[in-house]
């Protein structure tokens, strides 16, 4: 046997060993892929009910938001009505002031007379 024959035998043995290791490695790899596929299936099965619950919660929240919008519209219209009534009252007050332009003058004269009478009363007591 020559050196080339020995190297050829070693090469054939190493190729055979490499192919056996490749087969074993591919088998383990396929087992890991299968386990991951099963885990993904379990994950999908678990998330499907969660998504369905989320969908029902979203529908309920949308319904509640619609009802709140209706209530808000009612409250807004009530506030507008109250503002209109208050603005009507303030406009009446302004009209009353216009009707009696001498009202402030009369008040001032009354206050002046009360002040003078209080002064004379205090002056007489001394």
Buried/exposed code over 15-38 (b: 16+ C-beta within 10 A; e: otherwise): eeeeeeeeeeeeeeeeeeeeeeee
Global pTM value: 0.41
Is residue 100 predicted with pLDDT exceeding 70? Answer: no
Confidence (pLDDT) at 99:
60
Confidence class for position 74, pLDDT limits 50, 70, 90: confident
State how far the Cα of 14 lies from the Cα of 20, in Å rounded to an integer: 10
């Amino acid at each position: 046997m020559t050196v080339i024959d020995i190297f050829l035998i070693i090469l054939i043995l190493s190729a055979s060993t490499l192919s056996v290791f490749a087969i074993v490695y591919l088998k383990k790899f396929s087992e890991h892929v299968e386990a991951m596929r099963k885990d993904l299936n379990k994950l999908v099965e678990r998330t499907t009910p969660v998504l369905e619950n989320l969908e029902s919660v979203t529908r309920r929240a949308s319904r509640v938001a619609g009802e709140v919008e209706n209530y808000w519209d009612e409250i807004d219209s009530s506030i507008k009505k109250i503002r209109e009534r208050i603005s009507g009252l303030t406009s009446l007050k302004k009209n009353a002031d216009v009707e009696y332009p001498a009202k402030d003058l009369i008040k001032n004269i009354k206050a002046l007379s009360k002040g003078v009478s209080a002064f004379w009363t205090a002056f007489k007591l001394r």
